[in-house]
A and B are shown apart, each in its own frame.
Chain A
Amino acid sequence: MESKGAFFKRGMKDGIPICLGYLAVSFSFGIMALKTGLSTFQAVLMSLLNLTSAGQFASLSVITAAGSYVEMALSQLIINLRYCLMSCSLSQKMDPQAPFYHRFFVAYGNTDEVFALSSSVKGYVSPFYSYGIILVAVAGWTMGTLLGAVAGSVLPARVLSALGIALYAMFIAIIIPPAKESRVLQALILSAMVLSTAFTHAPVLRDISGGIQVIILTVAVAAAAACLAPVKEDVR
């Protein structure tokens, strides 16, 4: 059994790609937030409290359109509902014996990327591993927002563009290695990507908001896999 400190350090190390990816994305967020009329402080505060890219970008349009608070709440609910699925999945990855209060803190940082890393752990995931990831992720996300807000031109566009792929590459590095030994996972990944491409381009389907698309496809693909290839025992 690793110590809490060792888990924490490993989380911080594994979180480096998240930190880099977040720097790039939140950098553009910082620039946009200031254009929308937010102060630097407000932009950083939003990043610190929300820690969600799609939701924050969408919030800027609601703010620009002077939408109501209800409208803001609904748009965030729709865009971020996917986290609900992720939290359900993560609830089974956390040790039922671990102190309960950890779940309140881990929940704050359960972003797509933190969830992705936590899921890739074998067996139960230690809350301290999650804290390590969350710390560097939050650092990257808020620092990027700050830098974008105060010095929008400091990072060349080329570097931003290259860093833009960091998080996606990390997702791939998480889903592919376990798929190497599993035909089921190979089929699942492939069909999920094909369906997602169809939803992006096909008429009618493409009009469904991005957040809802992710939910529909995740539920459909994961449910199909669970029916066709139920997981036998504790392969967490």
Chain B
Amino acid sequence: MSGNVYVYIVVMAAVTYLIRALPLTLIRRPIKSQFLRSFLYYVPFATLSVMTFPAILSATSSPWSGLAGFLTAAVLSWKKKGLIFVSLTACAVVFVLELVLV
């Protein structure tokens, strides 16, 4: 380490905050373009899908428990179970499966 850690932290925080704050504060009015509106409507689904898979397979100690957690969450969400229930059940499945696997 050579640089000052506090300066590093402030630089990081400033960059990250600006990335988050600029669009939110500069785009104040509802966007009219149907294409852009549709695009922004689809963004969360696209980005969450991309971030979830295949990363979920390496989120736990074994790809198999990750896959089991993924399938558990997918089936329970399809049945419209609540957020917390889905999340905790997936954790529980991973935990139990890894008692055997790992």
Contacts and interface: CB of A to CB of B under 8 A. Distances in A.
Interface string B35-50: 1111111111111111
A173 interface: yes
Interface string B48-83: 111111111001110001100110111011101111
Interface string A204-230: 000000000110011001110111011
B46 A161 contact: no
Contacts of B81: 173
Contacts of A159: 95
A45 B61 CA distance: 29
Nearest to A16: B84
A176 B77 contact: yes
B48 to A, nearest CB: 5
A227 B89 CA distance: 37
A75 to B, nearest CB: 9
Q: Classify the secondary structure of B's interface with A.
A: helix
Interface of B: 1-3, 5-17, 19-31, 34-56, 59-61, 65-66, 69-70, 72-74, 76-78, 80-84, 86-92, 94-95, 98-99, 102
Interface of A: 13-14, 16-17, 20-21, 36-39, 42, 45-46, 49-52, 55-56, 59, 62-64, 66-69, 72-73, 76-77, 80-92, 94, 96, 100, 103-104, 106-108, 110, 112, 115-117, 119-120, 157-159, 161-180, 185, 188-189, 192-193, 195-197, 200, 213-214, 217-218, 221-223, 225-227, 229-231, 235-236
28 contacts: A17-B84, A20-B88, A42-B9, A45-B9, A49-B9, A49-B12, A50-B16, A76-B12, A80-B15, A80-B19, A81-B19, A88-B43, A89-B41, A158-B95, A162-B60, A168-B52, A168-B59, A168-B69, A169-B91, A173-B73, A173-B81, A174-B83, A175-B52, A193-B50, A217-B46, A218-B46, A218-B50, A221-B42
